[in-house]
Amino acid sequence: MECEESLERMMRALDGELPDGEWRVLEAHLEVCDRCRARWEGLLAAEEVLQQAPLLSPPPGFVGRVMAQVDRRRARQRAFFGGLVLAAGTALLILIGVLPILWTLPGLAGLAVVVSHSGGLLLDHLVGAARLLLNSLGLLAGALLVQTLPLALCSLMTAMLLAGLWWGLLRRWQAVPS
């Protein structure tokens, strides 16, 4: 018997799940393998310590709080996936309903052929236009940031000061006995 196989049998023996035939094979291996015998004795000592250790019960309401958190998480997952399915179904229904109408419009079939033949050129133009738009937006954001950064910092500091004052007033009002 290999040592790895005997370790698996040791674990099953500690759990009380080792049949008699396999137990005899394990005992025979432990008689000839010093390393496995030392491991078995260590496992038995650890098992004895664990058996003697006192069991602590969870604090009151622990199970209820954990289960409430599990229920909230499951509800969020159901809501998310339900919304996703609803959105996909709605999009599919709209596509199924609108596509035949658009296909029957005069000239649309010809436009589809032209677009399919010149799709690469159209895609290049669309990518170029998108790149130009993004560069323009970046330049605009940079210019606005330089102009409005002092105003934004001043507004942030004012908001923090007002929040601190409000927090102080709330604490003072709550500390006053009624």
pLDDT per position as a tens digit, 84-127: 888 888 888 877 877 676 666 666 556 666 666 666 677 778 88
Kindly report whether the global pTM for this prediction surpasses the value 0.85: no
Q: What is the mean pLDDT of residues 40-62?
A: 89
Which pLDDT score, from 0 to 100, does residue 176 have?
57
> 109 near 103, Cβ under 8 Å?
yes
Q: Which of the residue ranges 2-6, 13-17, 129-133 would you say has the lowest mean pLDDT?
A: 2-6
Which pLDDT score, from 0 to 100, does residue 6 have?
87
Find tokens 């997952």 and name the residue. Answer: 77
Mean per-residue pLDDT of the chain: 82
Please state, in angstroms and rounded to a whole number, the distance separating the CA atoms of residues 85 and 82: 5
Sign of CA dihedral 56, 59, 60, 64: negative
Six token digits for residue 1: 């018997």
Six token digits for residue 34: 């010093």
Residue 45: which pLDDT band, with cuts at 50, 70 and 90? very high
Which pLDDT score, from 0 to 100, does residue 172 have?
75
Is the pLDDT confidence value at 59 over 80? Answer: yes
Please state, in angstroms and rounded to a whole number, the distance separating the CA atoms of residues 46 and 23: 20
Q: What is the mean pLDDT of residues 24-43?
A: 91
The fraction of the chain above a pLDDT of 90, given in percent, is 16
Is the pLDDT confidence value at 22 over 80? Answer: yes
